[in-house]
Amino acid sequence: MRPRICAMISCYQEGDLLWSTIESASMLDEIFVVEGSTEFPLNSSHFHGEARKTPTEKRVRYMYYEGVFKSDADKRSAILREAQAWNHDAWGIWIDGDEILLFGDYLRDHCSRADEETATGGATIRLVEYDGSVANCYGKLIKLGSIRNYVMSSYEVTLESGMTVALPNVPICSAGGIPLTDSTDRNDPDFAVKRPPVIGEPHLLHRHGLRSPRREAPRLHDKEAESFEQLVKERK
């Protein structure tokens, strides 16, 4: 059976940019969009859910969160629960409000292969920046039922087994798509891993430069990412 896949879109005041983010995932089985701030903690908040349609008539489960999430991890945990209620055994891909999914028509093939290799966890997917730098993301493409909740942004999770693990974005190419390797041997297998995505390979494009200037202020998940990097350094 071909795997089912949903998009989980975390956003806040993205404006028209959000529509292209949603449209980029239109080939997937379900789209969850959660709008809500993660800047200041409040004690009482709740969802208002509704079904919307994009300009191409794709149905979207759009939810607006009144109030503010305590953290980016809390927000992602809430989105995850909504997706798990839809289909606990499906795959989910995280797409932030300033990202788009490219070649998503072929994402199901990658998930099918990953299902054959492991029954839990997820698969990696590349994230490309406008300067051509690339990261290999371990937490963007997941099996919904494998994760219990998020601990720190999207970088640290508690699995259903109770184990807490890191799911980092690992840089593999510098600006211009230059592989981050010391090898000069073009036959080195490292070049097959540390490379930009090829045409037809599903990946994410980060479009931070297209965000409204009103959204350029530091956000909580940026601080959480900095905390995660510091935590990694301390554990080494």
Mean pLDDT of 88-103: 96
For residue range 159-188, list pLDDT tens digits in order. 998 999 999 999 999 999 999 988 877 778
At 44, is the pLDDT very low, low, confident or very high (cuts 50, 70, 90)?
very low
Nearest Cα to Cα of residue 111 among 135, 146, 78, 86: 146
- Please say whether the beta carbons of 5 and 140 come within 8 A: no
Residue 58, pLDDT score: 58
Mean pLDDT of 190-214: 88
- CA torsion sign for 102, 83, 122, 158 is positive
- Please say whether the beta carbons of 4 and 108 come within 8 A: no
How many folded domains does the chain comprise?
Answer: 1
Domain that holds residue 55: 5-235
Tell me the residue length of the chain.
Answer: 236
Q: Which amino acid is at 167?
A: L
Which pTM does this prediction carry?
0.81
Poorest-pLDDT segment among 32-36, 44-48, 137-141: 44-48
Residue 47, pLDDT score: 44
Residue 41, pLDDT score: 45
| Cα atoms found within 13 Å of the Cα of residue 96, Cβ hemisphere only | 18
Structure token digits, residue 213: 């200037």
Distance CA 220, CA 158 (A): 20
Distance CA 145, CA 136 (A): 22
Q: Where are any strands of DSSP class E within the chain?
A: 5-11, 30-37, 46-53, 59-68, 91-96, 99-102, 122-128, 134-143, 147-152, 156-159, 164-166, 169-174, 178-179, 203-206
For residue range 107-152, list pLDDT tens digits in order. 999 999 888 765 456 799 999 999 999 999 999 999 999 999 999 8
Nearest Cα to Cα of residue 8 among 115, 142, 129, 104: 142
